[in-house]
Amino acid sequence: MIRFTNAFKAYPRGSLALKDASFHVGRGEFVFLTGHSGAGKSTVLKLIYAEEFPTSGEVRVAGVVTSELRRREVPRLRRRLGVVFQDFRLLEDRTAEENVAFALEVTGARRGTIAPKVMRVLAQVGLAAKAQAYPRELSGGEQQRVAIARALVNDPHVLLADEPTGNLDERAARGVVQLLRDINANGTAVVMATHNLELVRQAPYRVLELQDGAIVYDSAVDEVRSNVGGQRGGTVT
């Protein structure tokens, strides 16, 4: 599904944001990407949705090597991914329903097929009743649900979430994580970047920890080693 092979990323006029990262995320997997601010979490996600490309090494998503994509082929990849952010990124002058429909319209979906799909995902995130509300009329948690609905409406293989709970209070944050878990239970892989370790501990999922652009811990790999030592891994700092 997603495979990083010795991927490096250096931004122009920046230091190395990602150093020699190699990992694989399988179909239907749930992965937490953790690490301090500036550790390279967003960079990993950007490399996945082809906003950035590795300086060296390879990033393979859904069978394609992103750096081999031509510019006009990127949209096709994006339609197979869903992405949500800390700041929701909704269009303020469109209702919840219109925001979600927008993601289908830009793909040239036929008019008649849009409305039922939109209502289905809004129901899935628990916002069917607020379809006509504008973002400013919704709470932060609700806005993030609209964003998640928009990310889901194209039936993505993977949902990428960059600090989706960063702007939310405790309760709303737990609600969003629960929603992501439900989505994952339906077969969609989820990669969620967060520095909220409390949330990470509450869920029994794989953890990838970044530090200064290097992967310093991968529970899928290191757990085996820890088990040999008779301990359960997954604690991160």
Ligand X SMILES: Nc1ncnc2c1ncn2[C@@H]1O[C@H](COP(=O)(O)OP(=O)(O)O)[C@@H](O)[C@H]1O
Residue from the set 124, 143, 154, 196 that interacts with another protein by CB under 8 A: 154
Cβ 87 to another protein shortest distance, Å? 10
CB closer to another protein out of 89 and 201? 89
Which residue type, as a one-letter code, is found at position 112?
G
Can you say whether the dihedral through the CA atoms of 97, 166, 18, 224 is positive or negative?
negative
How buried is 44 (Cβ within 10 angstroms: 0-12 exposed, 13-18 middle, 19+ buried)?
A: buried
Cβ 211 to ligand X shortest distance, Å? 10
Residue from the set 38, 140, 166, 234 that interacts with ligand X by CB under 6 A: 38
Residue from the set 60, 130, 150, 206 that interacts with another protein by CB under 8 A: 150
Scan residues 48-67 and list those touching another protein (CB under 8 A): 49
Which residue type, as a one-letter code, is found at position 5?
T
Residue from the set 24, 36, 76, 225 that interacts with another protein by CB under 8 A: 76
Taking the C-alpha atoms of residue 131 and residue 164, their distance in angstroms, rounded to an integer, is 21
- End-to-end Cα separation, the chain, in angstroms: 28
CB closer to another protein out of 91 and 123? 91
Scan residues 17-36 and list those touching ligand X (CB under 6 A): 17, 35
Size of the site for another protein (CB under 8 A): 20
CB closer to Mg ion out of 85 and 205? 85
User: 213, 39 in Cβ contact below 8 A?
Assistant: yes
Residue from the set 12, 108, 112, 204 that interacts with another protein by CB under 8 A: 108
Can you say whether the dihedral through the CA atoms of 88, 94, 98, 104 is positive or negative?
negative
Residue 110 contacts another protein per CB under 8 A: no
Question: How is residue 138 annotated by DSSP?
Answer: S
